Copies of this chain bind each other. A is one copy, B any other.
Amino acid sequence: MSLKLRIDGKTVDTPAVWWDDAANDVRMINQIKIPFQVEVHSCSTYRDTAKAIKEMIIRGAPSIGAAAAYGLAQAVQEFWNQDAFVEHIKSAYNELMAARPTAVDLKNGLDFVKKYDQLNPKAALNRAKIFANRIANEGLKIGQIGKELIVSNMNVLTHCHTGALALVDNGSALAPLIQAWEEGKRFHVYVDETRPRIQGRMTAWELSQYGVDHTVICDSASGFFMSQGKIDLIILGADRVVRNGDIANKIGTYNLAVLANHHNIPFYTAFPTSTFDSSTRTGNDIIIEYRDANEVKQALGYSNTLMKNQIVSLYAEGEEFSNPAFDITPNNLITGYITPYGILSQSQLEKTFINRTSQ
């Protein structure tokens, strides 16, 4: 179920991020341009890769982790046989690590490459590829396991973007929906817009690739649809899952969890191994990333009159904004955790994941 895209006039089967052996660089679908253009972005140095992560050309915690793993492999290539190799790698590790603060996948990806004893170019690249492939395969498993929650005629709500582009391939929260659809189940997906970055348009676009029936709604309309009995199930991803089962995920997740709880609607999070943070005990220990005010102040869209992408300012000059990119949803609001190891309860979570994340 790899993502099929039209790039430069050809249909290609592509993951979200990959190593191009011929060009010897890191490539990724430029997620800033989705859904208006499908373009491949190339990173020839680890700094390019760190920049792509920071600027959200690549998004979704697991895809970020894979990109970072490739980035560290690039650094090993770049500094191999140079003076102060170890210092350079340390500095590259820190630079990649600082590109986004919330996704633990980023640290897991870097550590997966770094911990390998013989840190040479070939080995490092090999480790990065293993890390990326494992995430993609886990997406498939998450789909197989999670699709059992979907029954025909159901209405499912999702938030942010958790498709193939976010998970190297196959998706996390979208994987159960796409696999259930491909099995012939027929249901409807409500797609939250997910301001400020409007990742809902990527979700809508990916669901369109597979023909899954869906409607986009404003983030603030979720409670209305719940109160009307139009939401039977909520599935979304996670940017970080900590030991007690609290999750950090895209801003708005907590609103949905409280509303779901109020309406007795099952609320599931789906994520691969790399998203589990075995070093953090509870959600209180997660530091929330505040992103640039311009993300709220502005919107990037497509101008039909100019026939190109345009950034417009939505507010008067001089206004101030607060832009927390994530929020924390406590474990008591989460019905279950859809993982490659099954649909887990909060009590099964820690013992299932501990020691798995960096293997």
Contacts and interface: CB of A to CB of B under 8 A. Distances in A.
Nearest to A319: B204
Given A204-B315, A259-B259, A299-B312, 16 more contacts: A35-B315, A36-B316, A192-B220, A198-B315, A204-B316, A204-B319, A205-B316, A216-B315, A217-B296, A217-B323, A218-B252, A224-B254, A224-B328, A302-B313, A303-B311, A312-B312
Nearest to A252: B220
Contacts of A297: 216
Interface in A180-204: 190, 192-196, 198, 201, 204
A301 interface: yes
B219 A218 contact: yes
Given A252-B221, A259-B255, A201 B314 contact: yes
Given A195-B193, A299-B299, A324 B258 contact: no
A219 B322 CA distance: 11
B319 A221 contact: no
Interface in A223-240: 223-225, 227
A318 interface: yes
Interface string A125-152: 0000000000000000000000000000
B35 A316 contact: yes
12 contacts: A35-B316, A195-B218, A216-B319, A217-B296, A217-B322, A218-B323, A219-B252, A227-B327, A262-B262, A299-B299, A303-B312, A304-B313
A259 B222 CA distance: 12
Contacts of A225: 322
